[in-house]
Amino acid sequence: MALLAAAGYLAGRRALFLVRLVRAGRPLDRTDDLPLRAKNEATIVLGQRKLLQRLVPGLMHAAIFWGFLALFPTIVMAAIGAVDRGASLPWLGAQGWYMAIVDVFVLAVLVGIAVALWIRKVVRPQRFHGSHLGEADVILALIALVVLTLLGWHASRIAAGLAEWPAHASFLSNWVSTVIPAPRVLDRVFVWAHLCVILGFLCYLPYSKHLHIATAAINVFFSRTRRRGRLEPLRFDVPEAEMRFGAGTVRDLTWKEMVDAFSCTECGRCQDVCPAYATGKTLSPKLVIMGVRDQLFAEGPRLIAGGELQPIAGNGVSEEMIWDCVTCGACVHECPVSIEHIDHIVDLRRDLVMMQSRFPGEAESMLRDVERVGNPWGKPQGDRESWAEGLGVRVVQEGEPPPEILYWVGCAAAYDERARVAAESTVKLLQKAGVDFAILGARESCTGDPARRMGNEYVFQAYAEQNVTTLNEAGVTRIVASCPHCLNSLGNEYPDFGGRYEVMHHTQLLAELVRDGKLEPAKGDAAITYHDSCYLARHNDVVVEPRELVAAVGKPVEMEKRGKRTFCCGAGGAHMWMEERGSPINEERVRQAAETGADTLAVACPFCTVMLDDGVRSSGKQLRVVDVSTLLVESLDA
């Protein structure tokens, strides 16, 4: 009892401190969608779905995790057996089938530990760079001691004739029992050793960097259930004391961001898929979360006491890391415990931009142009519809009836020569299919996406409210967008500001028209590789329809990094307007495309069009970069 009380006190004191930290976090509502949250617990936590995306390390972790779930009742059995060696759990303690399961999972856990050590000590993947590998070794050692002392205890009971269950059912314990000397003595040694290791584990865990063992399931339950591309809006309509302008110090973190920090497993899967890290930038999503966690733990007592706190940017997280992020979401998609890295980075940007006016100098003109003239190109608003001259496109005027579908053109297609080709192609296809559509013309403004991802939430919300007012007054209900960034803002973020529309990407509508026979492309024999835009595939789950169009006009050739595990073009997070350090992300993606042997690199995003075309030119690769809508037009004209 003394051991249990001491362990309970040490663990409980730390747990209370952590609870007080989370209670000090800024409010965030994550109580919606309970059925989906329950499903996430079943698939991500119990089913280990995200870990199993990488088969060998996934199976290793699953073996250890499932093993401890199966072995949990043996802790109670050991506690009872330590007090009274002739007693055990009623019914379950005498079941041979359960003891057979125990031995299976003891073996599985030991194999899992061996694989984990082989990966960490022999393979040594780059994703572990920066992780606390020493503490990971301590955790593995404690896990090994838990199952080995359990095995020794069961073997001793069998050898001493004390087992309540049929000895032959425990194939492993029964085999080990044949070499157990002085079994009645070792029965006491192993059962108390088992309990001491477990209690030591309980004390060590909340103070260690592997707190995720206790918090991961909680973090998964409260993870985002809406589309991944949505950012949590800041509230500017609340009393000044409740207002929040991003994350300047740990006092500004939401409670979910705090639980995120506690839950990092340091597995490095996020780092492994980060395009910025892969091309030599400073950014590691893992190190961002670890930096936030370390500063939170270090300043936690002062936070709770209401004391002075240091900025996160420049201390826990370097400013260079903050600006390297392209908000592609690869880290979030890969994370086995549903950490929301982008929210952390954008919140750090929000504080730097809105509170300290600190951001990369090359982004200044973009932010100024968005705020001043409603587009990041700095072009006159009156020129927004000039791309459509001679195409016979209807422009919705005030007071006119709305079209069946509003075509949201976006700033890139309106002002960039290369991007506008896709808009022209889309218009020709919609006209050929007899679709009732129109555009807003000069009444359309930037959705605010670049400003929001850069950290200027105030400018984003101003444009969101303006555009929602325009769309609602025009009676718009269905929107088609060619730009995935516009699609994401209109469909996922504008509902927070009263704009609820059916929003689809142009590839989704075009694929529907092809399936319905309203467009009949002629299939060619050109090899085409398709690049998935991060904001289309990963953030908005549009993967199938662009491929249907590619398959309808040519021979698809897939890149290794595709679908929801695509590799960014480098434009996201406002990097379209920022200088890039290290090896260019767009050139790396072009290299991946060229390796397929395809002649054509198909895209479905105006930002990707510009970035990958630039990448082809700078790298000297022989690839034609073209939107799928243009390929479809060419096929129809052939």
The CATH number linked to 285 is 1.10.1060.10
Residues 178 and 285 in one domain: no
Four-residue CA torsion sign, 423, 395, 469, 383: positive
Share of the chain above pLDDT 70, in %: 100
Residues 135 and 202 in one domain: yes
Decide if pLDDT at 567 tops 80.
yes
CATH classification of the domain holding 537: 3.40.50
Token pair for 461: 């919300």
Residues 351 and 391 in one domain: no
Please, which pLDDT band fits residue 571 given cuts at 50, 70 and 90?
Answer: very high
Residues 533 and 497 in one domain: no
Residue 16 lies in a domain: no
DSSP state of 121: I
Please, which pLDDT band fits residue 2 given cuts at 50, 70 and 90?
Answer: confident
Q: Give the other-Cβ count within 10 Å of 415's Cβ.
A: 21
The predicted model gives 303-321 an average pLDDT of 96
Residues 51 and 188 in one domain: yes
**Which residue, 309, 331, 358, sits at the end of a domain?**
358
| Least confident window among 181-190, 222-231, 256-265, 618-627 | 222-231
Residues 325 and 445 in one domain: no
Residues 534 and 618 in one domain: yes
Token pair for 355: 């509170």
Decide if pLDDT at 473 tops 90.
yes
Distant-in-sequence, close-in-space partners of 12: CB < 8 Å, separation ≥ 6:
none
- CB–CB of 166/190 below 8 Å? no
| Least confident window among 241-245, 481-485, 546-550 | 241-245
For residue 144, the model assigns a pLDDT of: 96
Nearest to 139 by CA among 218, 209, 68, 73: 209
Q: Give the residue numbers spanning the domain of 348.
A: 240-358
**Which residue, 358, 390, 414, sits at the end of a domain?**
358
The predicted model gives 400-426 an average pLDDT of 96
Please, which pLDDT band fits residue 40 given cuts at 50, 70 and 90?
Answer: very high
Please, which pLDDT band fits residue 237 given cuts at 50, 70 and 90?
Answer: confident
Query: In whole angstroms, how far apart are CA 5 and each of 1, 13, 15, 193?
Result: 6, 12, 15, 17
For residue 493, the model assigns a pLDDT of: 97
Decide if pLDDT at 275 tops 80.
yes
Locate tokens 């808009």: which residue? 423
- Computed over every residue of the chain, the mean pLDDT equals 95
Residues 334 and 390 in one domain: no
Residues 388 and 482 in one domain: yes
Q: Euclidean distance between the first and final Cα of the chain, in Å?
A: 84
Residue 298 lies in a domain: yes
Residue 544 lies in a domain: yes
For residue 8, the model assigns a pLDDT of: 84
Cα 93 to the center of its chain, rounded Å: 42
**Which residue, 513, 540, 557, sits at the end of a domain?**
513
Whole-number Å distance between alpha carbons of 142 and 164: 27
Decide if pLDDT at 598 tops 80.
yes
For residue 47, the model assigns a pLDDT of: 96
Residues 57 and 202 in one domain: yes
Nearest to 481 by CA among 306, 229, 243: 229
Distant-in-sequence, close-in-space partners of 123: CB < 8 Å, separation ≥ 6:
none
For residue 638, the model assigns a pLDDT of: 58
Number of domains in the chain: 4
Four-residue CA torsion sign, 376, 377, 381, 384: negative
Please, which pLDDT band fits residue 151 given cuts at 50, 70 and 90?
Answer: very high
> pTM for the complete prediction?
0.94
For residue 474, the model assigns a pLDDT of: 95
For residue 64, the model assigns a pLDDT of: 93
Backbone angles phi, psi at 430, to 5 degrees: -65, -40
Residues 310 and 397 in one domain: no
Decide if pLDDT at 637 tops 80.
no
Decide if pLDDT at 604 tops 70.
yes
Residue 1 lies in a domain: no
Over the stretch 520-535, which tens digit does the pLDDT of each residue have?
999 999 999 999 999 9
- CB–CB of 622/595 below 8 Å? no
Residues 343 and 444 in one domain: no
Whole-number Å distance between alpha carbons of 396 and 283: 45
Whole-number Å distance between alpha carbons of 276 and 580: 10
- CB–CB of 479/503 below 8 Å? yes
Please, which pLDDT band fits residue 1 given cuts at 50, 70 and 90?
Answer: low
Nearest to 574 by CA among 473, 459, 471, 491: 459
Over the stretch 476-490, which tens digit does the pLDDT of each residue have?
999 999 999 999 999
Please, which pLDDT band fits residue 256 given cuts at 50, 70 and 90?
Answer: very high
Residue 17 lies in a domain: no
Strands 502-505, 527-530: pairing kind: unpaired
The predicted model gives 149-169 an average pLDDT of 96
For residue 582, the model assigns a pLDDT of: 85
Residue 547 lies in a domain: yes
For residue 210, the model assigns a pLDDT of: 83
CA atoms within 13 A on the CB side of 258: 24
Residue 145 lies in a domain: yes
Decide if pLDDT at 296 tops 70.
yes
Over the stretch 440-465, which tens digit does the pLDDT of each residue have?
999 999 999 999 999 999 999 999 99
Decide if pLDDT at 312 tops 80.
yes
Share of the chain above pLDDT 90, in %: 92
Residue 190 lies in a domain: yes
Whole-number Å distance between alpha carbons of 322 and 343: 11
